[in-house]
Structure 1
Amino acid sequence: MRETLTVIGLFVVAVALRSSCRNSVRKLGAVLFLTATFFLFYFPTGMIGVGVLGAGMWFLLPWIELLTRVRRMRLPLNNRLSHRAPPDPSFFPNAPESAAAMEEDGFEHVSDCGWEWAGMKQFFRLYWHPEERAVAAVCLCEQCDVAFAFISITSYDCSGNIWRTTNFPFAPTLRCPPYIRWNHVPCERSCFHQILQNHREYLTKNKLDAKLRVPDPEEIEDSIEKEMRRQVEHNLEAGIIRLTPDGHHFKYSGRGMIFLWGQFVKDMIRLC
């Protein structure tokens, strides 16, 4: 009974810690989940290796999603943005506040648009600022009943490189081309003013203040489409994805499934 109560107690404490608002406490709860799982397999067998394998099973959970839904996905090779009405604010977390903050900082509204990827709807509210030489977007991703929003600020240098600061909460599901430079800030940082300051510091750190070009508001949507197409081409060359027989869609290859699993594990560790 002692071993059984130890495992149950560890799981109860882990659940309690996971309900905390503090990130460090939630991470401690995740460690306790692994510890409880280790002892769940170790106590009956007395073998440390079995306990380690048991705890490691948590990192195999993404394969359920990969082998069921992701393997069957077929994504369009050429996806086009279409103009859309803003979604209900109740499904668009922090969007009104973020949009108001962008306007306070002098950003001008350009358009509202979106597209769909394998059942996931993405909505973009786009802004630009000629003096900042930047494009800002507040984005909503919605799939089934799950929705999350994030902010991105993008600058373009004269060499064609893209410099982006974002609080996007997940690891990318496609490999990024080398000309796209990401500056990830914590996903809980939802204040646009602070993200803009992080973006300015990022540009200054890379000595880009005098090398940026002013974006054309008429070409912002087109640049998003071209960026996605170039990213798809980069992943085709890398073997992460491959074309379907019809030539108009692509799907993840075996190598791509392993890449996605690695990205899921990164999210499990970072967001736990």
Structure 2
Amino acid sequence: MAREVLVVVGLVVFAAAFRACRKNWTRKLGALVFLVASFLALYFLTHNIWAGMLAVLGWFFLPWIELLTRVRKMRLPIDNQLQHRDPPEDEFFPNASRALAAMSDAHFEHVGDSAWKWAGMEQYFRLHWNPEERAVATVCLCEQDNVAFAFLAITSRAEDGRIFRTTNFPFSPTLKNPPGFHCKHVPCERNCFHLMLQDHQSFLAKMKVTHDDLTTPDPENLEDEIEEEMRVQIEHNLQHGIIERTNDGHFRYSVRGLFFLWKQFAKDMIRLC
């Protein structure tokens, strides 16, 4: 029995070491090793392969604890509005200074700072635009319960209403994207704005969108466009039953929506950004 314990402990140590590495493939390998350790731990206790498989599958069903306790009780505003907010200090805004400097080098001009709240989470937006690129760049900070993460997004809009966005947002979307919205996710460690701008240009080329197909952003309407984009997405998800209205001007996730979120959580666990 001591040998089996040492095998499991050794695998857990290896998994933690791999997960601490910066390379994406090593972190994925660390997660795989951790699943193997979970399998062996229960297998050694029961000598049953199916018990070991249940130990592995159990990790993928852990999100249901949060889904059934916190998420199911959440009430989110249907008509949310951005408010002007002073940006957080740099120490609370990971990589903001470097990203903002890179935006300035790429001739993206600062437009304003806004924020809104979603069920205890606050999102800050630092908005920039470049009329020559016909694009809007955003540095966004999400804060909830003293946990914060930041991401970048570059958005272009076509004359026919389609929206094209490149982002290193580290998670799968929590709502279905409406028709006409096209998003390219790049790895979250790809936080160099110049590289993301190249990714965005390649994305537009892949979608066969030319520079002449794009509209020139109006810096006065950037906040209105974000609000309208959210309203369209909420309406799309109401129609598809992912969310449902409450009696107080809010919405909550339906049962179908909880299964949608669980699928998104599982994708994130497999992708291991």
- Which of 230, 239, 245 lines up with 1:237 in the alignment? 239
Amino acid at match of 2:178: P
2:230 equivalent in structure 1: 228
Tell me which residue corresponds to 2:255: 254
Shift of 1:252: 0.3
- Please give the per-residue CA displacement for 1:70-114, whole angstroms capped at 9, x wherever unaligned: 111000010000001011110001111111111111111111101
Identify the residue that residue 106 of structure 1 maps to in structure 2.
107
Deviations 1:106-161 (A, max 9, x none): 11111110100001110001011111111111111111111111111100101100
Indicate the SS of the match to 1:182.
Answer: strand
**Number of matched residues?**
271
TM-score, normalised to structure 2, is 0.96
Q: CA deviation at 1:4?
A: 2.5
Contact 2:27/2:272 (8 A) holds in 1 = no
Q: Where in structure 2 are the equivalents of 1:10-159 lying within 5 Å?
A: 10-159=11-160
Q: For the residues of structure 2 that align with 1:10 and 1:167, how far apart are their CA atoms?
A: 31
Contact 2:169 2:188 in 1 (8 A): yes
Matches within 5 A, 1:213-224: 213-224=215-226
Amino acid at match of 1:142: E
Gaps of 5+ in 2: none
Q: Which moved more, 1:126-135 or 1:38-47?
A: 38-47
What's the CA shift string for 1:232-269, capped at 9, x where partnerless? Answer: 000000100000122x0000000000100111111111
CA distance in 2: counterparts of 1:153 and 1:11, whole angstroms: 39
Q: Which amino acid aligns with 1:225?
A: E
C-alpha distance in 2, partners of 1:117/1:217? 24
User: 1:207, CA displacement in angstroms?
Assistant: 2.0
Work out whether 1:205 is the aligned partner of 2:215. Answer: no
Instruction: Identify which range, 97-106 or 235-244, moves more after superposition.
Output: 97-106
- 2:170 maps to 169
- CA distances 1:172-220 after superposition (whole Å, capped 9, x unpaired): 1111112110011111011111111111111122221221111111111
Distance in 2, matches of 1:205 and 1:99, equals: 27
Corresponding letter in the other structure for 1:93: P
Which amino acid counterpart does residue 73 of structure 1 have in structure 2? M
Q: Secondary structure at 2:199's aligned position in 1?
A: helix
> Which deviates the most, 111-120 or 17-26?
17-26
Instruction: Give SS of 1:262's match.
Output: helix
Cα offset for 1:45?
2.4
State the superposition RMSD in angstroms: 1.2
The one-letter amino acid of 2:58's match is M
Tell me how far 1:64 sits from its aligned partner: 1.2
User: Who is 2:267 aligned against?
Assistant: 266
**Secondary structure of 2:137's aligned partner:** strand
CA distance in 2, matches of 1:104, 1:168: 22
How far residue 32 of structure 1 moved from its aligned partner, in angstroms, is: 1.1
What stretches of structure 1 of length at least 5 have no aligned partner?
none
With normalisation by structure 1, the TM-score equals 0.96
Distance of 1:148 and 1:228 partners within structure 2: 20
Identity of aligned residues (%): 60
